[in-house]
Amino acid sequence: MASRRDGDNGTAFDPAGSVDLGPLPEQISFALRRAQTAVFADFIESLSELDLRPAQFAVLEVIDANPGLRQSDAASILGIQKANIVGLISELERRALLTRRRSQRDRRSFALHLRPQGALLLQRARRLRDAQETRIAHVLGAGGRERLLELLRQITPPG
């Protein structure tokens, strides 16, 4: 990684160098954020060959598991702001991966359905996700993946 110049004094700053992080490495929030950044960078790279982002993958997964899910419910379940889900869904619809139809239950909302192309792309994306899961499990060692998921579930609010 290239170094950059520190704007204050013109000295070279090497982010991979030996900067003392103080107590940060012992803080759960810092460790989780660093792990999330590493895992997401790898996932983003994995999905890039499909021109798919992690949020798009998550939307396709949840729609596949819940055909007819309302757009607003998908946003809520995935923790995506309602204003952001509209653009995300529009892009997936533009790519012919899903379709929006007026909900039969509530004509003011849209029900989401995968299109055949979306189902095929999702299968390909799942293979890439599975390969990533295998890489992470290898790093974590025997039983590490299951232990990590259990610990994360303990601190994640239900819903």
What's the pLDDT tens digit per position in 85-95?
A: 999 999 999 99
> How do residues 104-145 score in pLDDT, each as one tens digit?
777 777 899 999 999 999 999 999 999 999 999 999 999 999
Spatial separation of the C-alpha atoms in residues 125 and 44, rounded to whole Å: 11
The least confident of 58-67, 80-89, 102-111, 139-148 is: 102-111
Least confident range of 68-77, 114-123, 150-159: 150-159
Task: Please check whether residue 74 is in contact with residue 112, taking contact to mean a CB–CB distance below 8 angstroms.
Answer: yes
Cα–Cα distances in angstroms (integers) from residue 105 to residues 12, 26, 102, 112, 151, in the given order: 60, 49, 9, 13, 38
pTM of the model: 0.81
Where along the chain do its domains lie?
50-151
Q: Which of 100, 115, 94 is nearest to 68 (CA)?
A: 100
The third-level CATH classification (topology) of the domain covering 50-151 is Arc Repressor Mutant, subunit A (1.10.10)
47: CB partners within 8 A, 6+ apart = 53, 54, 57, 125, 128
